[in-house]
Structure 1
Amino acid sequence: MVANAIRHGKGPIGLRLLRGEGLICEVTDCSLTTPRIRHAAETDEGGRGLQLVSALSQRWGTRYTPTGKCIWTEQPLT
């Protein structure tokens, strides 16, 4: 998610990790562009970031902030 924010977002970019019953990772940037899952072709160099996030996290989402957006994931802790 950080790499996507660096590549597609607008700075400054933030990262916050919250540990509770699970691990929440939040990445913020100043862009208002809505992230969406793309279905990349085999020859595409990109377009798989959110597919990986969705596959590897229990839940994920986006919320908008006064300065941009926050993409978050939740991982269970074992």
Structure 2
Amino acid sequence: MTLWPIAARLADAAREAGATDPEQLGEQLALLIDGAAARTRVLDADAFPTAAAIAAVLIDNAIPATAGGDRRQAEETS
């Protein structure tokens, strides 16, 4: 699979974070960014807060809790 530059950079970050399929996560996040940008331009509405919430779900599902410690527990205690 050939990734676009932004998807490749996101895949690299996902790999460093311990994602089980970093290329897929990178592509999903890149598509989400593109979609949010297009929706913002076409509908003149800020789609990025919703996109950020969706990205959080994608990331949580793609990165095992044991990668770099338990993120959810760390967030709850902060």
TM-score range, shorter chain: under 0.3
Question: Which protein is bigger by CA-based radius of gyration?
Answer: 2
Taking structure 1 as the reference length, the TM-score comes to 0.26
Taking structure 2 as the reference length, the TM-score comes to 0.26
